[in-house]
């Protein structure tokens, strides 16, 4: 500790020995520093505060109906882009700063200075409160720039809002037109596919396999009914072959009749019933017409034979009632057999047609599912876009008719009479402290570069030899007087430096008034 104190005292003594150098350096640095502070241009600070109210009463009422933009985020974004180049150029035109630029280089310099001098900050306690500030040497221009900044800030926020809404509307219109075209194409593909595969695709009767199963069941049932009716017909034929007719006298016959008349009348009655349900081209109708034509031809032949007396089965003869009834039943059975044969043929054709396409059914059904899926996706997206466009339209109407942003200028642009920058009092004090520090530093450096021996310890360290004793220097009266004069001179010059600091500071403050 004693060594540290000893070194400290030695350095202080060295600085004191070079005090005149320190004082000269301090004077030089102070004069240069104060001259630099004196020539610094004045800067006036223009400020304004604006409150952005985004709590519109319509926002909770339109929740879920219209698009709710993030107002706070939009305002924050606009506050960050306020000092963008387009806004700065607009600001220069509004304040006539662009007239001061004679060429492109000077314009760029003005833009740089303008950007560095503008400050837009939000309040930490209230996120809706913004302060705008601007430094400039011209007091009136500073106020004018701040007023223009407020105008640009409000117009940019509101204009950006309307521009975003218009851009969204145009984008949605374009997307809706595109999806309408895709929807029409999907509907056309689906309709064409259904027309092409109408017999295979699912319908009211069910899917392919259901219709195939139904057709097979109908075919089996029709075959069973046909076999039953054929057996009945054969049995009637067998019974008729064993029944003997009863002959009546010729006087009892009023007109020639044939045994085929009952069958023909029965078939015509059945034909009338079929024509109430089907057209003349229906297979059953065609089959019965053919059968009636054949029976009528056969009846005509029998009547001719009866007129010639060659037939014993003609109308002139009357069979027994049992025989006549069985003949009618046989005619009805043959008509039913013909009808069932047509039905079996039709069902057989249906089953064969369905079985021909059994291998292509999975592919067709898969393609149908894909087409339906594509159509549903496009239709759903188209509907959603229509809903979004309507929401965007309502939102735009709300923004135009009931502003959800209210700008209120709390503090209008204000510029103090005295410049805010630079703080010359503080700068002059800093220059004074800096000059004294530099002077002491130079003196200390000189003492380190040109050391002296001031005591026994220094001599012992310098020579490495033991010191037996020392002789004290006793100055004379003249030397003491000279030392006192120099100390007084040093003190006077130091006080003069302080007085110069005070004079410079007071003079600069007086000039600002």
pLDDT at 266: 79
pLDDT at 251: 39
Residues of the chain with pLDDT > 90: what percent?
9
Which segment of 19-23, 195-199, 211-215, 319-323 scores lowest on mean pLDDT?
A: 319-323
* Rg, C-alpha atoms of the chain: 61
What would the pLDDT profile of 98-147 be if each residue is shown by its tens digit?
888 888 888 888 888 888 888 877 766 766 778 888 888 888 888 898 89
Task: Please indicate whether residue 462 or residue 227 has the higher confidence score (pLDDT).
Answer: 227
Top-confidence range, 255-264, 384-393, 421-430, 435-444? 435-444
Beta pairing, strands 118-122 & 129-136: antiparallel
Name the band, by pLDDT with cuts 50, 70 and 90, for residue 255. Answer: very low
Q: Give the span between the Cα atoms of 396 and 170, in whole angstroms.
A: 12
Do the beta carbons of residue 290 and residue 342 sit within 8 Å?
no
Which segment of 60-69, 78-87, 298-307, 338-347 scores lowest on mean pLDDT?
A: 60-69
Name the band, by pLDDT with cuts 50, 70 and 90, for residue 257. Answer: low
Average pLDDT over residues 320-345: 81
CA dihedral 455, 458, 462, 468 (to 10 degrees): 50
pLDDT at 399: 55
Q: 3-class SS at 339?
A: helix
pLDDT at 33: 92
pLDDT at position 407 over 60: yes
Do the beta carbons of residue 10 and residue 112 sit within 8 Å?
no
Do the beta carbons of residue 302 and residue 314 sit within 8 Å?
yes
Q: Give the span between the Cα atoms of 164 and 157, in whole angstroms.
A: 11
pLDDT at 500: 92
What would the pLDDT profile of 142-183 be if each residue is shown by its tens digit?
889 889 888 887 777 665 555 555 666 778 788 888 888 988
Which of 181, 206, 205, 201 has its CA nearest to residue 191?
A: 201
Name the average pLDDT for the chain.
77
Q: Give the span between the Cα atoms of 272 and 235, in whole angstroms.
A: 27
E strand or H helix at 64, and its extent?
A: none
pLDDT at position 74 over 90: no
pLDDT at 364: 79
**Domain boundaries of the chain, sorted by first residue:** 2-40+422-512, 44-176+400-414, 208-356
Q: Give the span between the Cα atoms of 315 and 317, in whole angstroms.
A: 5
Cis peptide before 60 (omega within 30 of 0): no
Q: Give the span between the Cα atoms of 403 and 358, in whole angstroms.
A: 66
Which of 65, 25, 91, 23 has its CA nearest to residue 397?
A: 65
Tokens of 502: 């005070």
Q: 3-class SS at 423?
A: coil
Bridge partner residues of 121 (DSSP): 131
Count of Cβ atoms closer than 10 Å to residue 53 Cβ: 13
Q: 3-class SS at 168?
A: helix
Task: Please indicate whether residue 452 or residue 86 has the higher confidence score (pLDDT).
Answer: 86
pLDDT at position 320 over 80: no
Bridge partner residues of 45 (DSSP): 135
What would the pLDDT profile of 193-245 be if each residue is shown by its tens digit?
877 776 666 655 556 677 778 888 988 998 999 898 888 888 888 877 754 44
Q: Which residue has the tokens 């393609």?
A: 367
Top-confidence range, 22-26, 69-73, 90-94, 378-382? 22-26
Count of Cβ atoms closer than 10 Å to residue 325 Cβ: 12
Q: Which residues contact 197 (CB under 8 A, 6 or more apart)?
A: 364, 368
pLDDT at position 60 over 70: no
Name the band, by pLDDT with cuts 50, 70 and 90, for residue 322. Answer: low
Name the band, by pLDDT with cuts 50, 70 and 90, for residue 253. Answer: very low
Do the beta carbons of residue 427 and residue 32 sit within 8 Å?
no
- SS3 of 233-291: the string is HHHHHHHHHCCCCCCCCHHHCCCCCCCCHHHHHHHHHHHHHHHCCCCCCCHHHHHHHHH
Q: Give the span between the Cα atoms of 162 and 168, in whole angstroms.
A: 10
Name the band, by pLDDT with cuts 50, 70 and 90, for residue 404. Answer: low
Residues of the chain by 3-state class (helix, strand, coil), percent to 5 = 70, 5, 20
DSSP letter at 407 equals: E
Name the band, by pLDDT with cuts 50, 70 and 90, for residue 29. Answer: very high
pLDDT at 252: 39
Instruction: Concatenate the DSSP letters of all residues of 280-338 into one string.
Output: TTSHHHHHHHHHHHHHHHHHHHHHHHHHTT--SSSTTS---HHHHHHHHHHHHHHHHHH
Phi then psi dihedrals of residue 96, to 5 deg:
65, 20
- Burial category of 327 from C-beta neighbours within 10 Å (exposed 0-12, middle 13-18, buried 19 and up): buried
pLDDT at position 375 over 80: yes
pLDDT at 68: 46
pLDDT at 416: 86
Q: Give the span between the Cα atoms of 490 and 499, in whole angstroms.
A: 14
Do the beta carbons of residue 267 and residue 288 sit within 8 Å?
yes
pLDDT at position 410 over 80: yes
pLDDT at position 434 over 80: yes
Residues of the chain with pLDDT > 70: what percent?
77
Q: Give the span between the Cα atoms of 113 and 336, in whole angstroms.
A: 110
- Is CATH 3.30.1890.10 the right assignment for the domain spanning 44-176+400-414? yes
pLDDT at position 80 over 50: yes
- Burial category of 443 from C-beta neighbours within 10 Å (exposed 0-12, middle 13-18, buried 19 and up): buried
């Amino acid at each position: 500790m004693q060594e540290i104190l000893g070194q400290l005292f030695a350095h202080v003594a060295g600085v004191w020995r070079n005090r005149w150098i320190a004082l000269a350096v301090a004077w030089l640095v102070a004069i240069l520093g104060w001259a630099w502070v004196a020539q610094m241009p004045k800067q006036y600070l223009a400020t304004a505060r604006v409150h952005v109210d985004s709590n519109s009463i319509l926002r909770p009422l339109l929740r879920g109906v219209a698009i709710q933009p993030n107002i706070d985020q939009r305002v924050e974004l606009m506050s960050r882009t306020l000092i963008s180049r387009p806004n700065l150029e607009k600001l220069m035109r509004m304040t006539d700063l662009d007239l001061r630029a004679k060429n492109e280089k000077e314009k760029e310099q003005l833009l740089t200075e303008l950007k560095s001098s503008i400050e837009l900050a939000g309040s930490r306690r209230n996120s809706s409160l913004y302060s705008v500030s601007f430094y400039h040497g011209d007091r009136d221009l500073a106020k004018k720039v701040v007023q223009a900044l407020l105008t640009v800030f409000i117009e940019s926020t509101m204009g950006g809002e309307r521009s975003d809404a218009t851009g969204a509307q145009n984008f949605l219109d374009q997307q809706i037109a595109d999806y309408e075209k895709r929807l029409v194409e999907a509907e056309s593909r689906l309709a064409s596919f259904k027309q092409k595969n109408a017999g295979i695709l699912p319908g009211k009767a069910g899917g392919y396999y259901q219709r195939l199963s139904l057709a097979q069941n109908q075919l089996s049932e029709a075959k069973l009914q046909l076999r039953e009716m054929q057996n009945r017909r054969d049995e009637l034929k067998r019974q008729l072959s064993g029944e003997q007719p009863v002959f009546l006298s010729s006087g009892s016959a009023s007109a020639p009749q044939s045994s085929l008349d009952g069958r023909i009348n029965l078939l015509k009655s059945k034909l009338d019933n079929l024509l109430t349900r089907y057209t003349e081209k229906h297979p059953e109708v065609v089959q019965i017409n053919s059968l009636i034509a054949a029976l009528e031809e056969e009846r005509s032949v029998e009547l001719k034979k009866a007129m010639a007396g060659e037939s014993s089965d003609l109308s002139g003869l009357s069979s027994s009632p049992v025989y006549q009834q069985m003949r009618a039943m046989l005619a009805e059975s043959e008509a039913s057999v013909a009808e069932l044969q047509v039905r079996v043929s039709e069902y057989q054709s249906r089953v064969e047609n369905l079985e021909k396409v059994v291998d292509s059914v999975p592919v067709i059904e898969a393609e149908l599912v894909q087409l339906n899926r594509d159509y549903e996706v496009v239709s759903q997206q188209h509907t959603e876009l229509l809903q979004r466009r309507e929401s965007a339209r309502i939102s735009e109407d709300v923004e135009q008719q009931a502003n959800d942003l209210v700008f209120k200028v709390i503090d209008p642009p204000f510029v103090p009479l005295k410049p805010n920058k630079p703080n010359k009092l503080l700068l002059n004090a800093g220059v004074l402290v800096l000059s004294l520090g530099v002077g002491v530093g130079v003196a200390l450096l000189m003492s380190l570069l040109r050391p002296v021996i001031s005591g026994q310890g220094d001599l012992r360290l310098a020579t490495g030899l033991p010191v037996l004793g020392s002789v004290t220097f006793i100055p004379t009266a003249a030397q003491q007087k000279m030392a006192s004069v120099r100390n007084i001179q040093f003190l006077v010059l130091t006080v003069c430096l302080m007085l110069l600091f005070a004079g410079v500071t007071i003079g600069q403050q007086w000039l600002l008034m």
